Structure 1
Amino acid sequence: MKIRSYLVFCFLVAALLPTLIFSVWSYRDAVSREIAEVEDRHLLLARKAAATLHRYHQDLVSAFETASTKLQRGQSPQDISGQLYRLNMCCIHLTDKTTGRIKHSLDPSDIGKAIPAVSFAKIKSIAQPDEAAFSGISVLPDGNNGFFIVQELERYYAFGLVSPEFFIDLGKSIVFGEKGHAAIVDRFGTVIAHPRPDWIADRKIIAKVSPVARMMRGETGIETFYSPAAEEDMIAGFTTVAGPGWGVMVPQPVAEIYDKVAQNQSSLFLIVASALLATVLLGLLLARSLSHPLEELARSMRASARNRKLSRVDPENGMIRFKEIVDFCNSYNRMVTRMTQAGEQIEKLAFSDHVTGLPNRDHLQAVAEPILAAVTSPEDGGIVVLVDLDNFKEINDLHGHHAGDLHLMACARVLCEVAEKLYKSPSFTRTAGFAPPLVARIGGDEFIMLVQGLVSEADIQSFLADVQLAVSEPSPELSITPSASIGCARFPLDGNDLEDLTKRADIAMYHAKRAGKNRVQLYTPDIGTQSAAETRRDLNEAIKKGQLFLEYQPKICTRRRVVISVEALVRWNHPELGCLLPDHWIPLLNGSHAMTRLGEWVIRQAMTDHAILANGGHDLWVAVNVGSNHFMSSGFVESLETIRAEKQFDSTQLEIEVTEDALFTSEHRAFSTFASLKDLGYKVSIDDFGSGYSNITRLASLPVDFLKIDHSLIAGASREPRIRTILASTIDMAGKLDCFTVAEGIETQNQADFATHLGADCLQGEFFTKSLPVDELIDWLDLQKGPAGHLYLRPESRAV
């Protein structure tokens, strides 16, 4: 039975006159109170909506600036593409400030396209150098309504296109009464969101409506006005969003207020009449039947808040089954079901990796913390294994990101299989309370395995060998031969904190990677205490504090027997560890921005030292080593030219040395960079040729000046006839390609004579001198002019 039926029955039983008299004299006061309440409520709704838009504006600006920065650095903002989609940001482009052509974009197919002149003019008119700015609602290039979000960068205009769907959805969410609604406008008074779709589509300008005009002036308040949309008087709360100037107005017809007051008066009349004339029994019965289900619901909600778990209520509870109460309880139960399911889905998304489905870093931390905290003795310990996939970036670059995702999923699958096989093994210790092995993905190409119960070194090594074998098996979906570098730390021996254990496993992993990749390394204190991230951080500080310096090793022309150039070699004067040679820390910088900063510092310092050499009377060019990723970056040549112009340096006096592995990333880009450097007058050389995948055919297509033959090939050729034949052929072919050869690592007279006899154009190594600071190098060069100079340095034929 409906509550309305009982209230009507009570109304008929009771006398109507007292209620009518009470209604007349209280009507005016009720209207005043209702209007005051409406004003407060509407202004509160407007402010809440404005706060939501303010957060949305902050999220838009943050995501836009992050993506713009990554695009400007040549990085892919793939990790925030989901956020951009949720924020209704259609695209982000970096355009040339002069031509309007797209230089960088989330969609590579848009690169090179020209922005329409009208859109480009609008972008330029609103762009600001220090912050992102928004246009008014307008027609986007695709014909739909939307906003431009624009920021002026150093070399580009960064702009994105934002769909107004968020505003429209927000407007639709604010509905009350029969005609109460929300209207959202831009700073020009143009409709963004409104109950009338045609006003949205036509971008209706309502700037002349009084509350809108006040919003455009940045005001906040309450006002009664005539609405052209509703064609009646409205009362509205309104406010603005600081920054973009959006305005939110929440209007409601004044007539609805009077209707509500009248309705409340009627309800009040019924309540008063029932309270006065209804029997005590009927009142108790109604109170019991009405209040008891609601009390149960309130108790259930308090328990849900206390236990952080929603619980259902019984809709049949009560002496009289009111349909509204039953429907209300059923609706609440449906809400509990939906919210529980949504919470489970959110928890799954928050604690799992979207590519592999494995637990992510947060999930790992939550699971590992109690496990590690409970370990009190070595017998309860285990291992943390860090698996870093080798050459994962090359897989993405050569085969595409889809192939990279397939590789990640394949590795996740085999790691889980290895963990499950271990857990089911009869020899594995499954002590009560021990957690099963956990596999998680914590980064782009990194996986963590947490295994409790592996204690003996033999068992650990056997398990690590199984892991290495599993991730090294070729994937049937991909035509690649995968491998991984694996580091392992033990708990509690190496720590009881996941962060410390991960750091030590990371140190061990980099030790394995530095040893040649596809290796396993168990952490021991003697392999170091600094992770790659800490080394990169310390290097940035070293550059700022002037802890780096250069030493130089001369290159000798075998024909003239004179020094023709010097190679710059970087050294790190660490405040705690002393002078660090690059072999110990350069590998930890590979693929990071720290390598680029280091390369730029070396180039700048080498140019400075070259001026010192020239002032000392030595006309030599200087060679610098550049990391492969730095060399292959899109801005390398431009940054090199910027430094050269800053130092007023002659480009013909600088030689750029790069290892051959730079060619594996993109042969086309490598050729373009080599050609650009040659056109600008720089000398270019391939370093450590013969130490890796040496390819003389690829060399034939590149404009290379020097080929630096690795010392291992020189040393091997002096002992092995077959290597000697390969070396002689390499030198001969390089000569026919107009490419000079440099024999590196010359340490003895025999090696010098041998390399000279085979036809090497230049020699370099400690046979002549160890690397020297620039001041000592000048002294050594001066010494070679006299009889006390090196025996090899005597005049002969033509120079290189």
Structure 2
Amino acid sequence: MNLGNYLFRKYTQPQRLLLVTVLMTAVAGVTALVWYTGGIKYVYSHSMYIPIAIAGIVFGYKGGVIIALAGGLALGPWMPINTATMEMQDTINWVYRTFYFLAVGVLAGLSSDTSRRYIQRLKQFARRDPVSKLPNRKALLERLEEILPRRNQDLDSCCYLLVTLSIDNGMALRSAFGFSVIDSIIDGYARQLHEMPNHQPEVFRIHGGQLAALFPGTKPDDVDVLMQACLKTLPENANFQSLSVYVNRHLGGVLIDNHENDPQAIMQHAEIAIARANDKMTDAFVYTQEVSESIASQLALMADVTDGLKRGEFTMHYQPKVALADGKFYGVEALIRWQHPVRGWVSPDEFIPNAEHSTLILKISEFVLREVMQQVSKWRASGIDLQVAINVSGHDILQPGFAQMLFELLKEFDVPGERIELEITEGTLIEDIDEVVAELLKLTEAQITVSIDDFGTGYSSLQYLYKLPISLLKIDQVFVRYLPEDKGASYIVSAAIVLAQKMGIKSLAEGIETQANLDYLQQLGCDYGQGYLYSKPLSADNFIAWYQNYQPICPKASQLAKESTANDTSMGRPL
């Protein structure tokens, strides 16, 4: 592409006419200057090089030639050497001058065209992935800018679906097969997208392990079908050097309709869709405005956590735990509560899961440990000596200095280790199991009790369970709430209790809300329980009032019912 073509694409018709008019006016102005300053023999004729050079730079060598010929003729056969004597030039004089004008115009134009071609080449390189030669992220952003609906256009013709693919096990693939494996997989996926039947998508490599495909003419009703077609086109098993390798890929979809007007926002929506597919452990997810608002709200809430801790918005509540055999009280579970200045009471389910994926969980855990230690110390001073269970994350356990911090807090508030129980969610025990065991052993040496929280809802950790220095299994309330009517939950609860008994540890059921729940759990031999049947979580002051007035709730089950359950193998006993 030469500069002349670039000019005619870049400028509008009125702008081009204005440039030509300016240049011709400059030629006429130089001609008038030469005439009124005495003729061609004076130096003013060299001023003609200026419009010629400008024409070459702006319009290319063709423009330089045209203005050079115009300038040569303007100072040619009719221009005298001296206007006072009207002595005319020789033909060779003005022809020779015109030749120089032409040389300057051509050189200026060729230099400009060469520079333009070089710049265009650099721009092309900047818009291409150097390995796959596919258009890159910059090229996609420019393409989105072109296709976005504009005023006075038919919006119905601007319906596109942007599908992005992310390879999420890239590090494992590179570790196993080398750095070229990702390039090979990307090339194969791009080729398969180009060969999709009934579709001709534009394919871009927007990141080392990410592809994007732009499908024109997509209607909202066709989005799900097209996403499924992409999943079939981009299988999890890819070929690399005659091997079939597993690719953990997720797809995100964004429908570009007449409400979209920012390419960067569209790319952000695509990233959100991929992240949501990953979080939900689904192969594909299509972006919606509601998803974006939810994520924005969650991020804003996370930003308030640190400030909330400083402002004293977080408090601890305590839910009693009792022995199911006789209903006697034996301890509490500490639960964090957040009184947000704008949102009011914020449930832990709204901020703890997100905090566990960041360093915020460490700040929250440190706050909880300090608050609980201080409260236990106050209770002991008033004659109430009990065990308090604290929820901690596996990230906390593996954090350098966590155990030492806990020991220092025990010493600072003069709390015996046996008065503290750490509840760890089952799923967090699976990662780095050897390190977790080593850290837990340090804690148990200080007489700190360790339990597994929400047992049965996480990963299949039975193969690791025997390694862990734990004293108690907590059965999640999702299995307890509908006992004994829910047979599936009954099997799981029964199996968990028998497992605990065989391992020589205790079991505790969460979420006991009815007498029927209590009776059935006592029949199964569950050791402890907590739930609204006894009490909801209470502030420290309200807990004291509850503690002083508590009357044990005993099971009503008859001995016959106990024997019936013990002999009922359909309920999972014996294992």
**Pairwise TM-score range, normalised by the shorter structure:** 0.5 to 0.7
Match in the other structure for 1:582:
348
Quickly say closer, same or farther: Cα 1:487–1:783, change in 2 above 3 A.
Answer: farther
Q: Which residue of 2 aligns with 1:464?
A: 227
Instruction: Find out whether 1:741 has 2:550 as its counterpart.
Output: no
For residues 711 and 790 of structure 1, the distance between their equivalents in structure 2, rounded to whole angstroms, comes to: 21
Q: Give the number of the structure with larger relative contact order, counting CA–CA contacts within 8 Å between residues 6 or more apart.
A: 2
The aligned amino acid for 2:290 is P
TM-score normalised over the length of structure 1: 0.48
- For residues 366 and 557 of structure 1, what CA distance do their matches in structure 2 show? 67
Structure 2 equivalent of residue 490 of structure 1? 255
User: What is the aligned partner in structure 1 of residue 433 from structure 2?
Assistant: 667
CA distance in 1, matches of 2:217, 2:382: 64
Matched-pair contact (CA < 8 Å) for 2:236–2:249: no
Indicate which of 334, 359, 367 corresponds to 1:593: 359
| Equivalent in the alignment of 2:334 | 568
Deviations 1:752-799 (A, max 9, x none): 221222122211223322233333333332331xxxx463499xxxxx
State the SS of the aligned residue for 1:665: coil
- Which of the residues 149, 159, 171 maps onto 1:381? 159
- Matched with 1:622 is 388
In structure 1, distance between residues paired with 2:363 and 2:502: 37
State whether residues 486 and 520 of structure 1, in contact with CA within 8 Å, keep that contact through their aligned partners in structure 2. yes
Q: Secondary structure at the match of 1:779?
A: helix
1:451 to 210, 214, 218: 214
**1:516-555 pair list within 5 angstroms:** 517-518=282-283, 520-525=285-290, 528-531=293-296, 534-555=300-321
Distance 1:793 1:729, change over 3 A: closer
Q: List gaps (5 residues or longer) in structure 1.
A: 1-289, 312-339, 795-800
2:72 aligns to what?
A: none
Aligned counterparts of 1:567 and 1:480: Cα–Cα separation in 2 = 47
- Asked whether the equivalents of residues 558 and 761 of structure 1 are also in contact (C-alpha less than 8 Å), the reply is yes
Q: What is the aligned partner in structure 1 of residue 553 from structure 2?
A: 791
Moved more, 630-639 or 456-465: 630-639
Q: Is the 8 A contact 1:407 1:475 kept in 2?
A: no
Deviations 1:530-576 (A, max 9, x none): 34655543434443444433333222222452333322333443444
* One-letter amino acid of the counterpart of residue 456, structure 1: K
* 1:297-696 aligned within 5 A: 307=116, 309=118, 347=126, 352=129, 364-372=140-148, 377=155, 379-385=157-163, 392=169, 396=172, 401-402=175-176, 412=186, 416=190, 419-422=193-196, 425-426=197-198, 428=199, 436-441=202-207, 447=210, 449=212, 451-453=214-216, 455-468=218-231, 473-474=236-237, 487-492=252-257, 495-505=260-270, 515=280, 517-518=282-283, 520-525=285-290, 528-531=293-296, 534-614=300-380, 617-641=383-407, 649-696=415-462
Partner of 1:209: none
1:425-458 deviation digits (Å, cap 9, x = unpaired): 43x5x7xxxx82445338xx8x463535354333
Deviations 1:117-143 (A, max 9, x none): xxxxxxxxxxxxxxxxxxxxxxxxxxx
Q: Quick check: 1:411–1:471 contact (8 Å CA) kept in 2? A: no
Task: Report the aligned-residue RMSD.
Answer: 4.6
For 1:611 and 1:403, the matched residues in 2 are separated by 57
> CA deviation digits over 1:510-530, x for unaligned, max 9?
655555555635414277443
Deviations 1:37-87 (A, max 9, x none): xxxxxxxxxxxxxxxxxxxxxxxxxxxxxxxxxxxxxxxxxxxxxxxxxxx
Q: Could you list the per-position Cα deviations for residues 628-653 of structure 1 after superposition, in whole angstroms to 9, with x for gaps in the alignment?
A: 34434455434544655666654433
Offset at residue 734 of structure 1 (A): 1.8
Query: How far apart, CA to CA, are the structure 2 residues paired with 1:345 and 1:611?
Result: 70
Larger Rg: 2
Q: Which amino acid aligns with 2:221?
A: A
Residues in 2 aligned to 1:293 and 1:642: alpha-carbon distance in whole angstroms: 87
Q: Residues 367, 345 of structure 1: CA spacing in aligned structure 2 closer, same or farther, 3 A cutoff?
A: closer
Report how far residue 379 of structure 1 moved: 4.4
For the residues of structure 2 that align with 1:491 and 1:719, how far apart are their CA atoms?
A: 49
Q: Deviations over 1:147-187 (max 9, x none)?
A: xxxxxxxxxxxxxxxxxxxxxxxxxxxxxxxxxxxxxxxxx
Shift of 1:408: 5.6
C-alpha distance in 2, partners of 1:714/1:471?
A: 42
Q: Provide the rounded CA distance (Å) in 1 between the counterparts of 2:130 and 2:360.
A: 28
Q: Residues 521 and 301 from structure 1, CA distance in 2 versus in 1: closer, same or farther, beyond 3 angstroms? A: closer
> 3-state DSSP class of the match of 1:567?
strand
Any conservation in 1 of the 2:456–2:475 contact (CA below 8 Å)?
A: yes
CA contact (8 A) 1:488 1:523 kept: no
Residues 486 and 713 of structure 1: CA distance in aligned 2, closer, same or farther (over 3 Å): farther
Q: CA deviation at 1:705?
A: 1.8
Measured in 2, the distance between the counterparts of 1:607 and 1:770 equals 21
The question of whether the paired residues in 2 share the 8 Å contact of 1:352 and 1:363 is answered with no
SS at match of 2:331: strand
Aligned counterparts of 1:360 and 1:594: Cα–Cα separation in 2: 35
Q: Distance in 1 between matches of 2:414 and 2:536?
A: 30
Q: Deviations over 1:715-746 (max 9, x none)?
A: 57634667645543432232232322111222
Which one-letter code corresponds to 1:762 in the other structure? Y
Provide closer, same or farther for how the CA distance between residues 353 and 652 of structure 1 changes in structure 2, counting only shifts above 3 A: farther
Q: Give the Cα–Cα distance (whole angstroms) in 2 for the partners of residues 353 and 745 of structure 1.
A: 58
The answer to whether the 8 A contact 2:473-2:505 is kept is yes
Out of 615-624 and 373-382, give the one that drifted further.
373-382
Cα 1:297/1:379, change in 2 over 3 Å: closer
One-letter amino acid of the counterpart of residue 736, structure 1: K
Change (3 A) 1:474 1:638: farther
Contact 2:332 2:387 (C-alpha < 8 Å) held by counterparts: yes
Query: Using the alignment, how far apart are the partners of 2:126 and 2:285 within structure 1?
Result: 34
Structure 1 residue 704 and structure 2 residue 482: aligned?
no
Distance 1:454 1:310, change over 3 A: closer
Corresponding residue SS for 1:530: helix
Of 777, 781, 788, the residue aligned with 2:543 is 777
Once the two structures are TM-superposed, the CA of residue 699 in structure 1 deviates from its matched residue by: 0.4
In structure 2, list runs of 5 or more residues that go unmatched: 1-99, 557-575
| SS, match of residue 538 in structure 2 | coil
Q: Quickly say closer, same or farther: Cα 1:723–1:770, change in 2 above 3 A.
A: closer
Map residues 705-744 of structure 1 onto 2, 5 A cutoff: 705-714=471-480, 718-719=484-485, 724-725=490-491, 727-744=493-510
Q: Secondary structure at the match of 2:459?
A: coil
Alpha carbons 1:572, 1:579 under 8 Å: kept: yes
Distance in 2 between residues matched to 1:362 and 1:600, nearest whole Å: 44
| CA shift digits 1:568-590 (9 cap, x unpaired) | 33344344443332333444344
Q: One-letter code of the match for 2:159?
A: G
Distance 1:310 1:464, change over 3 A: closer
Task: State how far apart, in whole Å, the 1-side matches of 2:361 and 2:217 are.
Answer: 38
CA distance in 1 between partners of 2:348 and 2:366 (Å)? 16
Classify 1:448/1:720 alpha carbon distance in 2 versus 1 (closer, same or farther; 3 Å): same
How many residues end up aligned between the 2 structures?
A: 455
CA distance in 2 between partners of 1:641 and 1:474 (Å): 49
The answer on whether the counterparts of 2:149 and 2:258 sit within 8 Å (CA) in structure 1 is no
Q: Deviations over 1:574-621 (max 9, x none)?
A: 444433323334443443223333333333333344345445543223
